[in-house]
Amino acid sequence: MSKILCIDFGTKRIGLSITIRSIAFGLETLETVDYNHLIATIDKYIKNKYIDTIVIGHPIKYIKYEKYLFPIEKDIIKFINFLKKKYPKLIIKRIDERFSSKIANYFLINSFFNKKKRKKKKILDQISAILLLQDFINNS
């Protein structure tokens, strides 16, 4: 059974989630934005978890009804182009990630997690990736 991998890009951390049937689960958070490590991790999941689709957050912000992209979008586009060359059969989708981190943070603040700030940040990126992927699944 093929699965979907979701990537929530950030400037400091990258959150990963995966589908199991029609539910999104957190995989891991990559602490540093090291693209070689990210590529090796994605390669591992594509080979071992039967990934055929990757969903990547699309960082958009609206100011007075005008659409702006965050500076990290350039890195994301570069990464997507790399993925398309390395895995030509891989389906790559984008999803609006406007409020995913805020919703994930709200979840953490109001949950039973009583972790240290560093651990919360690590969990936050996974929760953001889970929210993005579940949103994608629900709207597909």
CATH number at residue 70: 3.30.420.140
Average pLDDT over residues 108-126: 62
Domain count, the chain: 1
C-alpha angle with apex 11: 118 to 88, nearest 5 degrees? 120
Residue owning tokens 């059969």: 89
Cα atoms in the 13 Å half-sphere on the side-chain side of 107: 16
Note the pLDDT tens digit of each residue in 127-138: 888 888 888 888
Whether 90 shows a pLDDT value over 70: the answer reads yes
Helical residues (DSSP H) of 1-109, grouped into ranges? 35-49, 73-86, 100-109
**Enclosing domain of residue 62:** 3-138
Instruction: Give the pTM.
Output: 0.76
Whether 15 shows a pLDDT value over 80: the answer reads yes
Helical residues (DSSP H) of the chain, grouped into ranges? 35-49, 73-86, 100-109, 117-138
**Rounded to an integer, what distance in angstroms lies between the CA atom of residue 81 and that of residue 100?**
24
Q: Higher pLDDT residue, 13 or 80?
A: 80
Note the pLDDT tens digit of each residue in 41-71: 989 988 887 899 999 988 877 666 666 777 8
The confidence score (pLDDT) of residue 80 equals 94
Q: What is the mean pLDDT of the chain?
A: 80
Whether 82 shows a pLDDT value over 90: the answer reads yes
